[in-house]
Structures are given as structure tokens and as C-alpha cells.
Amino acid sequence: MNIDTEKIDGVVVAHLHGDALDASNAKDFKAQAAPLMAPGAKLVFDLSSLKFVDSSGLGALLSCLRQLNASGGALKLCSLVKPVRALFELVRMHRVFEIFNTRDEAIRSCRGDFPDAAKAGD
């Protein structure tokens, strides 16, 4: 798992490179993501590369979400492939995470352009 980051208009967009986020690399992912969890940070995870996420991967993402929420920051997800989106819906995490179809929508939401923007797919 590699994480590419770029900063767009004050929002950090992290692209998660890798086929899968599962029990085999969830710990590794958390370690790599730790530096991004600055208090109050506004972060977008681009999941477009991930073909597979399991419950451990989901747990790692939840851990990031809780850290950022606690420090007044925000975490948004974008570009989930169909089976990954299906997993989020199966365990109702699409109601916990803010999920966007595209990276731009996620960024705009972070910048507060559309504070009331409807979440994608809901």
C-alpha cells in the first residue's frame, strides 16, 4: 500500500495505491496514514485504485475518521468501486462516512462550497 498525497485548496487528497485494503495491510495503512491525521485536518481518501476492502480495511478507515472527527477535522471518501461501495452499504457505513462519486465533489465539500451537499448515491 502506497499513499500519494497532494494538497488542493487547503484540502489534503490522499490516493490509496494498491489492489486491496484488507487484514494483510490494514496495520501498514494505518501507520502510513498517521502523519496525515493532523488535528483539524481536512482529508479526502481517493479509493479509486482499491478493488477490494474487507472488514479490517473498513476498521482502519473508521479509525482515521474517528481521529479526525475528534480533532475537528474531516475525512471524506471518493471514487469507490462497486464492490467496495456494496461493502460500505452492507454494514451501513455509507451513513457514517461522507462518500462522493468524484474527487472534485469531495474537495468542494471539504472547502465548504456545498455544506449541505447531498452525499453521493443516497
Partner 1 sequence: MATLSGTPPKIFPRDVPSDAMNDAEQSSAALVDRIHQALEAAGDLPGVSVSLTTAVGRTLSLVEDGQRQIPERSLDRAAERPVQAEPHGAQPGIFSFGLDDGDQIVVRSAREGAATARLVGAVLQTFFRALAAEKREELLLQELGANWESMEVLYEISTDALRSGHIKDAVQRLIQRLASLKDGLHSALFVKREGLFVPLASTGPELSSLAPEQLGEIESAMLEMRVALANRLGDLPQSEALDERVSWRNAASLAAAPFSREGCVGFVAVWSEDPGCYFDQSFARVLEAIAYQVAVMMASDRLNRKVRESQLLAQEVEIASSIQQTLLLANAPKDAPRFEIASCSLPSQRIDGDFHDFFQLPDGSIDVLIGDVMGKGVAAALLGAATKSQFLRATANLALQSNPTAPRPAEIVARAASRLSERLISLERFVTLCYARFDAVSRTLSFVDCGHTSMIVEGKAQADWELLTGGDLPLGVVPDFSCEERSVAFRPGQTYLLYSDGVTENRAPNGEMFGVERLSECVRNWSSLGPAKLVAQIRSEAVRFRGSEKFADDFTCIAVRIQADPTPAEPIARGSAVFPRENEQLARLRSWLRGQVELGGAPLSEDELARLELCCTEIFVNCVVHAGYEQAGGKTTECGPREDGEESPVGVEISIFPQQTTVELRHRGREFDPLAVPPPAFDGSRDGGFGIYIVLRSADQARFARDADGTNIITLTFLRSEADRSL
Q: What is the contact surface with partner 1 in residues (CB under 8 A)?
A: 19-20, 22-24, 52, 54-56, 58-60, 62-63, 65-66, 82-83, 86-87, 90-93, 95-97
84: alpha, beta or left? (left if phi > 0; alpha if psi -120 to 50):
alpha
2-8 and 11-17 as β-strands: parallel, antiparallel, unpaired? Answer: antiparallel
* Least Cβ distance, residue 76 to partner 1 (angstroms): 14
* Least Cβ distance, residue 6 to partner 1 (angstroms): 27
* Least Cβ distance, residue 26 to partner 1 (angstroms): 9
Could you tell me if 94 and 121 are in contact, meaning their C-beta atoms sit under 8 angstroms apart?
yes
